[in-house]
């Protein structure tokens, strides 16, 4: 074997090894959850995963994570998963965490950074907002009749509750 081939092997093997370690993040379910066919709440359920089910996270999309578990491959809400727990349980030597830190810049004792949230409107967007009566009219088509909504509530064994308006609650708290 010549020096050129040796250098290629010495460079490509560690790089391949690092990328293979970082290709899927190990994790566990925090609670029992439904493994979905697609990243939507109303998607068909593939199976139900119990709490502490070990899995690998393959991909992230919005608030969903595509995972592979013994029960199959599908999508879970990201709030149902704790990343890094499976690697620790399997006795991770630290090489996986080191590789992930080198590739992703994540730090901490588990090498994982997780956030959730919703992007809101900026002050400028609120200041420049204009009414859209057509959009409000479109929303009206989704309104249900009183009879249908009462039937739906009755079928779900829901009970009416009285809720104070926000301005009443704020005003009463300011007076305290």
Q: Is 110 buried (19+), middle (13-18) or exposed (0-12) by CB count in 10 A?
A: middle
Same structural domain for residues 13 and 96?
A: yes
For the sheet with 54-61, list strands across it.
Answer: 45-49, 33-36, 72-77, 64-69, 54-61, 25-29, 81-83
Instruction: Show which of 70, 104, 138 is a domain's final residue.
Output: 104
CA gap 114, 30 in Å, rounded: 14
How far, in Å, are 26, 58, 168 from residue 109 at the CA level? 15, 21, 47
Q: In this structure, is residue 90 part of a structural domain? A: yes
Q: What is the DSSP letter of 152?
A: H
Per-residue pLDDT of the chain in tens (176 residues, 90 and over written 9): 555 655 665 555 555 445 444 567 899 999 899 999 999 888 999 999 999 999 999 988 888 899 999 999 999 998 889 887 444 444 444 555 555 555 555 544 444 555 555 456 777 887 888 888 998 888 888 888 889 888 989 999 998 888 777 665 555 555 55
Same structural domain for residues 29 and 94?
A: yes
Contacts of 75 (CB under 8 A, 6+ apart): 35, 36, 37, 38, 39, 43, 61, 64, 65, 66, 67
Q: In this structure, is residue 114 part of a structural domain? A: no
Q: In this structure, is residue 112 part of a structural domain? A: no
> pLDDT at position 88, please?
41
| CATH label of the domain that carries residue 89 | 2.30.30.40
> pLDDT at position 49, please?
93
Q: What is the DSSP letter of 175?
A: T
Same structural domain for residues 18 and 65?
A: yes
Tell me the residue range of the domain where 16 lies: 3-104
Q: In this structure, is residue 117 part of a structural domain? A: no
Same structural domain for residues 12 and 86?
A: yes
Same structural domain for residues 62 and 138?
A: no
The SS3 call for residue 57 is strand
Q: In this structure, is residue 115 part of a structural domain? A: no
Helix ranges (DSSP H) in 95-161: 95-104, 123-127, 133-140, 146-155
Same structural domain for residues 153 and 85?
A: no
Query: What's the whole-model pTM score?
Result: 0.41
> pLDDT at position 63, please?
85
> pLDDT at position 44, please?
93
Same structural domain for residues 156 and 77?
A: no
Domains contained in the chain, number:
2
Same structural domain for residues 34 and 68?
A: yes
Same structural domain for residues 84 and 130?
A: no
Distance of CA 8 to the CA centre of its chain: 39
Same structural domain for residues 148 and 95?
A: no
Q: In this structure, is residue 111 part of a structural domain? A: no
Same structural domain for residues 83 and 146?
A: no
């Amino acid at each position: 074997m010549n020096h050129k081939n040796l250098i290629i092997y010495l460079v490509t093997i560690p790089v391949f090894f690092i990328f293979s370690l970082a290709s899927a993040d190990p994790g566990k379910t925090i609670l029992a959850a439904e493994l979905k066919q697609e990243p939507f709440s109303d998607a068909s359920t593939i199976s139900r995963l119990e709490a502490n089910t070990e899995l690998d996270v393959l991909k992230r999309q919005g608030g969903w994570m595509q995972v592979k578990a013994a029960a199959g491959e599908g999508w879970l809400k990201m709030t149902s998963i704790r990343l890094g727990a499976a690697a620790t349980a399997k006795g991770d030597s630290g090489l996986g965490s080191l590789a992930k830190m080198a590739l992703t810049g994540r730090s901490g004792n588990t090498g994982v950074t997780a956030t959730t949230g919703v992007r809101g409107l900026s002050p400028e967007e609120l200041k420049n907002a204009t009414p859209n009566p057509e959009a409000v009219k479109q929303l009206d088509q989704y309104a249900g009749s009183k009879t249908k909504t009462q039937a739906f509530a009755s079928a779900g064994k829901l009970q009416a509750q009285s809720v104070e308006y926000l301005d009443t609650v704020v005003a009463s708290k300011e007076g305290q």
